[in-house]
Amino acid sequence: MITLSRNDSPTRRTAAVGVAVAMTAAAVALIGSQPASAAAGCRVDYSVGSEWPGGFGATAAVTNLGDPLSGWRLSWTFLGDERISQSWNGTHTQSGAQVTATNAAWNGDLATGGTVSFGFNATSSARPTAPSTFTLNGVVCTGSTAPTTTTTTTTPVDRPMVDNNFAVTREGAYGDNRFTVFRPSDPRAVGRALPVLAFGNGACAHTNNSEVTRALTFIASKGFAVVDIGSVNGSANGLPSGSPIPSLLTDAITWAEREQQRSASPLAQRLDLAKVATAGHSCGGLEALVAAQDRRVSAVVSLNSGFFADGSFGYPRSELAKLHTPALFMDGGSSDVAYANNQANYDLATVPAVLARQPQAGHGGFISGNQTADGMTTVVQFLDMVLNGNPAARSYILDPSGLASRSPWTVARKNF
């Protein structure tokens, strides 16, 4: 049900949209195949508070009619060319007409009957139209609570991702041989949408990604969709290698957005585009750090890398000030050629940051050496902490009893 009301002013109109959005899904965090029953529901009141030539301001008030929530994610699709330029009481990502708003650190808890408001300003070439459908935490609803019983066996969403071990498919990216995709062979078995990781290779290798196959297969087996630069068989794809091209990683994210909408894709509606990260090794780490400035990105991992003091490759260390997401800086100790550079980049970072050092790994141990499983475990735990807010992953990364207690690792952190 959508009702609109506007006053007579040409510059200020109010739209009260009682979108009865009800969640009719069952509990998806089941262990085994035991039946479970859960009641869920919500209402979204969407109002356009003001309009001006080329833009408007709006608020979406979400009332939780179901069980208490410890974090909320509201999604909708604009019907025109609306583009959010500023938001408050949460953060947002937008891909084309699709928008996802997520809670701020202070308003994630939403009790039964509780209401939270998310506001934004947006541009628009025409009078804004209220979205027809909203989803709360990925489930579409109608304004009433509905208990539903299910016997579906899925992965508990609060289980650390590092505990997963899905079979992995490595394949060429559909329609774009610049990329190779590593993903769970059956994305449905994961039990939740897959976070997306765009990865840059060492030496800025843009054709052959065989060196990172083992490491990225590990990450994908934990429930990620990984999009790596390079053709699946190492054949020519029109890309030069040896120098960073950060736009390749943002293009990889755009590819994932298209694949989310392609009906024949095994990843169609299986990706969580509100949980996107970039990562890279050595020269690829430079690509990841620059690409992480994209507003679609929520986390970045720099492996044995960092911006150089002399601005080599055209990217000075002042680029670090442009980061807006938590960052993980990893190196292999004093035998790693990136050791001092990694330390300096961590020191200069102003975002929440972790420095993790394994002195036996050297420059390539995390990617293709004996420390691959250990190193990629650290990457997965960091991403699970930042993207999913998983408390067990947070303890592993930040607590003295976690990674820091595993000799010979050393860990530092700031702004967390």
Query: Which strands form 42-52's sheet, in the order they lie side by side?
Result: 17-19, 42-52, 55-64, 115-123, 83-88
CA distance 257 to 250: 11
pLDDT per residue as tens digits for the range 96-149: 777 889 999 889 998 888 899 999 999 998 888 787 778 887 666 566 555 443
pLDDT per residue as tens digits for the range 296-328: 999 999 999 999 999 999 999 999 999 999 999
pLDDT band at 66 (very low <50, low <70, confident <90, very high): confident
Reported pTM = 0.66
152 by DSSP, 3-state: which?
A: coil
pLDDT of 167 over the 60 cut:
yes
Going along the chain from its start, the domains and CATH numbers come out as 17-150 (2.60.40.290), 161-414 (3.40.50.1820)
CA distance 142 to 270: 22
Average predicted confidence (pLDDT) for the chain: 86
CA distance 86 to 92: 9
pLDDT of 21 over the 50 cut:
no
pLDDT of 38 over the 70 cut:
no
pLDDT per residue as tens digits for the range 362-396: 999 999 999 999 999 999 999 999 999 999 999 99
